Structure 1
């Protein structure tokens, strides 16, 4: 019975996802964004476990400087941003190129061009910030070869539908597992001077590097630094920021991370993983309502 129940849940999730995507595709971009906002407000009220986790995480970080009302406002805005982003990415995939550029301005493109000029590829370090879902598409629109490293969804049908959407958004996907194949493909992408996009704000298991995030112990991925050390590819922090008008965005490209070299690979990884974690923290500090507080970033 358990297996049958799981199959029913998986089928329902995949069917629901397909219906939602087809509905959104009938909308123009601004309408999709507006509907995403409405779903976000509804989700904040109805998805209690994620609301409570978001408020708990926010309190751990900001309790001494923000009131409970302010924390609730941030959490509610985060839900709106998250749902807006999902709706927007479906509508964005079918926009004419000129409109795609109008909705997403790039700040710091010259830094990316200079880094790619080295011929070693670029490791684009980003986070679940703003509408990160269309970051890769906007870069691809400028003519860059873009690859995103992702974890495969457990539900195969939902994953296939997500992969179809990624293809429509015109960037390549590299799956984290199997690890050997993932590493080989990632190295190949950098060798071919691609932009390899890695999300650096996800909770890691025992293999992760010990860091502090907002002063709280956490684990972070060694991947961005390990790849940079192995290939010489620069690490460029990039973040999608939702503008005050709520429907346009700015893709901010920072200068390459200045890596510390001590002569010890293990020490270099530890120091530089903390460095990139600090960069992510600085953006979350500046735009707290645009980062996904509802995931389990810390050990406890």
Structure 2
């Protein structure tokens, strides 16, 4: 084992122990006492992602360099870090307080989802690593929806087990993105059972089943899964995002109307047009709530098209 790989394993193990121990402490604290720890946990969040600072600023300049001032970009950067740090704190707090989740997270546009489920083909919920999206999963499950989410396996196998067990105990089925064939089978089965399937479409997709579409003026490798699943199952696609709602600790989930996809999904041009349409919706939410997108620390434009 190299020094670098060993060091990364050490950091993952340290992070896992810190989160698990933090949860044990926080679950025993009443609300007023817990709030005392917010500045500490927020500062810890800053330290944990400080090494991503250069990537975040680079991505912010790619997206907004031509339309925002340097001061505006730095303001987004600052609010983004605050959201990440505080988001870690509140998620730990909410994990063992389901009633608090119901009280603190409103759902707007629920009628759009209920009407779509009446078709009987399940619903694909298009979203992103946006706001406190794990809290969104929990709130939807608590609202009575059979909730499935496609997620990558975590590199820390022990923490992967903790996460999967917790989600399962709270009514959320985690579908691993790999192996691909099993992911497809489980996803389609959930839709056939008229359940909801969360798909996050905002990260660089380096495998097969991708197309390059415009994202903030640059070509970005994007998975075609939501489009393909929709045509194979008949499930409508609804954009769903969670955003902060005024006071700290309060959120709202925004459920939009179904997206009308174009025809010819099996043709390359059809996949590109439809996937581009979905990506533009995600970009629109990021423009409205730029400090809420967790993807600023991710290399969204890492893969380049062959003709670039």
Q: Which residue of 2 aligns with 1:209?
A: 211
Q: Does 1:90 align with 2:107?
A: no
Q: Which residue of 2 aligns with 1:166?
A: 167
Per-residue deviation, 1:93: 2.8
Q: Which residue of 1 aligns with 2:14?
A: 12
Per-residue deviation, 1:233: 0.2
Q: Is the 8 A contact 1:33 1:88 kept in 2?
A: no
Q: Is the 8 A contact 2:203 2:222 kept in 1?
A: yes
Q: Which residue of 1 aligns with 2:2?
A: 2
Cα 1:140–1:11 shift into 2, 3 Å: closer
Cα 1:298–1:104 shift into 2, 3 Å: same
Q: Which residue of 2 aligns with 1:297?
A: 300
Kindly provide the CA deviation profile for residues 6-39 of structure 1, in whole angstroms up to 9, marking residues without a partner as x: 6645543432332222233234568767745653
For structure 1, which segment, 43-52 or 228-237, has the greater mean C-alpha deviation from structure 2 after superposition? 43-52
Q: Which residue of 1 aligns with 2:244?
A: 242
Q: Which residue of 2 aligns with 1:267?
A: 269
| Number of residue pairs aligned between Structure 1 and Structure 2 | 299
Cα 1:227–1:12 shift into 2, 3 Å: same
Kindly provide the CA deviation profile for residues 183-211 of structure 1, in whole angstroms up to 9, marking residues without a partner as x: 11111100000100011111111422111
Q: Which residue of 1 aligns with 2:179?
A: 178
- What is the SS of the residue equivalent to 2:116? helix
The 2-side partners of 1:66 and 1:29 are apart by: 39
- What is the SS of the residue equivalent to 2:113? helix
- What is the SS of the residue equivalent to 2:148? strand
Alignment counterpart, residue 279 of structure 1, candidates 278, 281, 289: 281
The 1-side partners of 2:101 and 2:118 are apart by: 25
Kindly provide the CA deviation profile for residues 69-105 of structure 1, in whole angstroms up to 9, marking residues without a partner as x: 22122112112212322322232232253x3222011
- What is the SS of the residue equivalent to 2:301? coil
Q: Which residue of 2 aligns with 1:196?
A: 197
5+ residue gaps in structure 1? none
Q: Is the 8 A contact 2:23 2:93 kept in 1?
A: no
Q: CA RMSD in A?
A: 2.4
5+ residue gaps in structure 2? 304-308
The 2-side partners of 1:226 and 1:29 are apart by: 45
